[in-house]
Amino acid sequence: MHGEEIEYVKEAYETNWMSTVGENINEVEKLSREYVGCKHAVALSSGTAALHLAMKLAGVKRGDYVFCSDMTFAATVNPVVYEGGIPVFIDTEYETWNMDPIALEKAFQIYPDVKVVVVANLYGTPAKLDEIKKICDQHHAILIEDAAESLGATYKGQQTGTFGTYNVISFNGNKIITGSSGGMLLTDSEEAANKARKWSTQARENAPWYQHEEIGYNYRMSNVIAGVVRGQYKYLDEHIKQKKAIYERYKEGLKDLPVTMNPIPDNCEPNYWLSCLLIDEDAMCKTNRSENEALYIKEHGKSCPTEILETLARYNAEGRPIWKPMHMQPIYRMNPFITRHGNGRANTNAYIAGASLDIGMDIFNRGLCLPSDNKMTPEQQDKIIEMIRSCFE
């Protein structure tokens, strides 16, 4: 927080516009349109709400298969199920940690009738959006871009949140800028924006009484939350610079360890939302994970995500595991899962040319998210780097 946020919140309070209309909402929609570069923005209560309305706009119906990023947070996928759709998970690729275009093309060979694809930009790094969009266009499928984690990131000079027919950003409490909650649906379609705005306010019709002809939702952003987001927007570029400095400091401080940072492709500029670490395969100590716990055996010169996270926690520094891929989640374990090397469900014990058939699972097993708060001082980060180095001694 920078101070101006509270002034916009006070403005909402003092003018008595505390609900889902007001100047803060109008201004946040305008700021989002102008920053991202789209024609229409609809302020909503969360990124998840925006994804849900995107599914409705895309026409997802009960029983429809929808291709989805596999390594992402569940909020990317759950809205498909809200509309009765069936997520089909597309494996990750090492170059970006995002949806693999080769696996996506294979998925269309197996399920040629699919008409909706949902791609997430993991940890603020854009997916191969041109390739994915081209594949969608060839198969006449609607692309929904989940840019919840990547606000401010660019791909080939173009802002994320503009590549899909419908796009989503988030202002949740942990995002690059925040309103404590809130999200935004972005689109170039005025008709779609008007539908989303109507649905988000319980689908009330233009009548002197409460008239409803279709199902609606209580999804509109409040003017209070919008005040916080409004005050944050001017600091977005500053936050990105701070996050990038954190990433570069980790990269330099850990460069002689058997680890790599989450990848940054040449054709994009991420927002560096989270700095992540991937331990080299031959530097992993013996480890085993169940559904809710992990065990490891300490080995000289080796480590694992669990050891590093436990070490950080002892010093009150919080890291996180990488998102557990959706096809590994108990609720989605029976859903189709497509890799570039095969169809159906991959043999997770098999390897081709040294690469796991299940790339998302491999990154989950060997990766972790490092403390990335932009309030962290260089001295605090140096201590974190020392802790990580100690795990390999």
Query: pLDDT tens across 208-232, in order?
Result: 999 999 999 999 999 999 999 999 9
| Residue at 27 is within a domain | yes
Position 151 scores a pLDDT of 98
Alpha helices in the chain (DSSP H): 4-14, 23-32, 47-58, 78-82, 101-110, 129-138, 190-199, 223-233, 236-253, 305-314, 359-366, 378-391
Does residue 140 share a domain with residue 118? yes
Q: What is the pTM of this model?
A: 0.93
pLDDT of 71: 97
Q: Active-site residue 175, yes or no? A: yes
For the segment 96-117, the average pLDDT, to the nearest whole number, is 97
266 and 284 in contact (C-beta within 8 Å)? Answer: no
Nearest to 274 by CA among 122, 382, 380: 122
304 vs 31, 123, 194, 283, 367, CA distance in Å? 42, 20, 49, 8, 8
Last residue of a domain, one of 211, 234, 257: 234
Measured torsion, CA atoms of residues 282, 283, 284, 285, in degrees rounded to the nearest 10: 110
Cα 129 from Cα 216, distance rounded (Å): 31
CATH number of the domain bearing residue 274: 3.90.1150.10
291-313 burial string, b = 16+ CB within 10 Å, else e? eeebebeeeeebbbbbbbbebbe
d(CA 43, CA 98): 26
- Backbone phi, psi, residue 94, to 5°: -70, -25
Let me know whether 102 and 200 are in one domain.
yes
Whether residue 346 is contained in a domain is answered as no
* Nearest by Cα to 159 from 301, 35, 344, 31: 35
Q: In the block, which residue shows the tokens 């390594």? A: 71
Q: Which domain holds residue 256?
A: 237-334+351-391
Q: What's the CA gap between 332 and 169, in Å, rounded?
A: 24
The pairing of beta strand 158-159 with beta strand 166-170: unpaired
Chain CA centroid to CA 288, Å = 27
In this structure, are residues 115 and 142 in contact, taking their beta carbons and an 8 Å threshold? yes
Least confident of 15-19, 52-56, 335-339: 15-19
**How many structural domains is the chain composed of?**
2
Structure tokens at 195: 């539908």
Q: What are the tens digits of pLDDT across the range 337-375?
A: 999 986 545 433 333 334 457 999 999 999 999 999 999
Looking at the fold, whether 243 and 221 belong to one and the same domain comes out as: no
Q: Count the alpha carbons within 13 Å of 371 in the hemisphere toward its beta carbon.
A: 22
Look at residue 352 in the predicted model and tell me its pLDDT. Answer: 35
Q: Looking at the structure, do residues 374 and 255 belong to the same domain, yes or no?
A: yes
CA 63 to chain centre: 25
Q: In the structure encoding, which two tokens stand for residue 108, read together?
A: 């269309």
Do the domain assignments include residue 191? Answer: yes
pLDDT at 353: 35
Residue 381 falls inside a structural domain: yes
* Tokens read off for 6: 């509270």
Tens-place pLDDT, residues 241-262: 999 999 999 999 999 999 999 9
* 239 pLDDT higher than 70: yes
Specify the pLDDT at position 331.
97
pLDDT value of residue 342: 62
Same domain, 172 and 190: yes
pLDDT > 90 fraction of the chain, expressed in percent and rounded: 92
Q: Rounded to the nearest 10 degrees, what angle do helices 101-110 and 129-138 cross at?
A: 20
As given in the structure block, the two tokens for residue 287 are 């480890």
pLDDT for res 192: 98
Q: 243 and 224 in one domain? A: no
2 with 232: CB under 8 angstroms? yes
Asked if residue 341 is part of any domain, the answer here is no
Residue 173, judged by CB atoms within 10 A of its CB (0-12, 13-18, 19+), counts as exposed
**Which residue is catalytic, options 56, 106, 175, 243?**
175
Q: Is 378 helix (H, G, I), strand (E, B) or coil?
A: helix
Residue 341 has a pLDDT of 82
What is the distance between the alpha carbons of residues 324 and 384, in angstroms, rounded to a whole number? 23
CA-to-CA separations, 114 to 68, 141, 337, 339, in angstroms, rounded: 11, 7, 14, 17
Among residues 183, 210, 234, the one where a domain terminates is 234
Same domain, 129 and 207: yes
Mean pLDDT across the chain, nearest whole number? Answer: 94
Residues 6+ apart with CB under 8 A from 166: 54, 57, 58, 142, 144, 145, 185, 186, 187, 192
- Based on the domain organization, do 38 and 154 belong to the same domain? yes
Cα angle 120, 56, 47; round to 5? 40
User: What are the tokens at 331?
Assistant: 């609720």
